[in-house]
Amino acid sequence: MAEVGPFGFAVVDKDVEWTSHDVVAKARGVLGTRKVGHSGTLDPGATGVLVLGVGRATKLLRFITALPKTYVAEVRLGVETNSLDADGEVTATHDMPGITIEDIRAAANAYIGPIEQIPPMVSAIKIDGKRLHQLAREGKTVERKPRPVTVHRLEVSALPDEPRHASGGLAAFGMEVECSAGTYIRTLGADIGTDLGGGASLQALRRTAIGSFGVDQANPVESVTTIPPLAALSDYDQVVVDDETAKVILFGRPLAEDLVTGPGPWFIVHNGELIAVHERIDGRIKPGVVFS
């Protein structure tokens, strides 16, 4: 059966104060289908790249969610909040005299590579069936286990106006972060502030890329359009198959080992169209998604 309605990805440049749910709801009207989902929440106070799956491409969103992310952020030194960002209530202030950009870079360098982060209370992670942000709204704080993430690149910069505390130290700084899925930039900023002898909170956040989906491809949700799945999946290995192999794949059968290289997943292409995604499951290369 041919795909009915739009089918592919849409790259949105999310505006501030929009929730990811708001973007999905608006995109459903713009694209003319209710079958729209997003690849991972972007906080209301943040802007930037949000990738939507449209039609049966919603089945592929988990592969987009797993891609590395790139962010630019502004961090305020000397102020801690209960949400670790500007939307929360101030919980502590610190006099941090004499902090230089070199001090900040030295502290930030300790977070490049594999690290562990404790998720903030204001997050979508579930503990005992309830999301942390729901518990936080109830005034509850629960123990969270550290989670492994990887910071591939972290570059610190001075802001154009170099805001400073009365004592002379920098009051804020900018950073650009390329990181694995699941990394909390607000936690990263707060931890750097703690290591500098005080505290910090995120003041602004913009996601500039999810894998190869860049902000240069993104549009406001009001004018969003779809990209064919295959054209948007340069982040993964693609395997081109012949007619005979395609028939086997469309019956949901495993793929022969000699057709693939690397760890997967593998996006299977026939006659220029994406027909399936295979993954290594129980030691065999099995279909995770099949498009008839």
CATH number at residue 99: 3.30.2350.10
Based on the fold, state whether residues 98 and 204 are members of the same structural domain. yes
pLDDT one-digit tens code per residue, 85-97: 998 899 999 989 8
Asked, for residue 1, whether it belongs to a domain, the answer is: no
Asked, for residue 3, whether it belongs to a domain, the answer is: no
Q: What is the pLDDT of residue 66?
A: 94
**Which residues of the chain register pLDDT less than 50?**
1-2
pLDDT one-digit tens code per residue, 44-60: 899 999 999 999 999 99
Domain count, the chain: 3
Q: What is the pLDDT of residue 234?
A: 87
Asked, for residue 85, whether it belongs to a domain, the answer is: yes
Q: What is the pLDDT of residue 1?
A: 43
How many CB atoms are closer than 10 A to CB 237? 13
How many CB atoms are closer than 10 A to CB 48? 23
Based on the fold, state whether residues 79 and 178 are members of the same structural domain. yes
Based on the fold, state whether residues 140 and 169 are members of the same structural domain. yes
Q: What is the CATH number for 275?
A: 2.30.130.10
Based on the fold, state whether residues 75 and 202 are members of the same structural domain. yes
Domain of residue 285, residue span = 237-290
Based on the fold, state whether residues 93 and 15 are members of the same structural domain. no
Task: Report the length, in residues, of the chain.
Answer: 292
Q: What is the pLDDT of residue 258?
A: 87
**Amino acid identity at 121:** M
Q: Where are the beta strands (DSSP E) in 120-185?
A: 126-127, 130-131, 147-157, 172-179
pTM of the entire structure?
0.90
Q: Quick check: 202 and 183 in contact, CB under 8 A?
A: no
The half-sphere exposure of 71 on its side-chain side, counting CA atoms within 13 A, is 30
Answer positive or negative: Cα dihedral of 183, 230, 213, 29.
negative
Q: Active-site residues: which are they?
A: 43
Burial (CB count <10 Å: 0-12, 13-18, 19+), residue 228:
middle
Q: What is the pLDDT of residue 231?
A: 81
Based on the fold, state whether residues 81 and 200 are members of the same structural domain. yes
Rounded distance between C-alpha atoms, residue 63 and residue 67, angstroms: 7
Rounded distance between C-alpha atoms, residue 148 and residue 183, angstroms: 9
Tokens representing 30 are 């713009």
Based on the fold, state whether residues 205 and 266 are members of the same structural domain. no
Based on the fold, state whether residues 150 and 84 are members of the same structural domain. yes
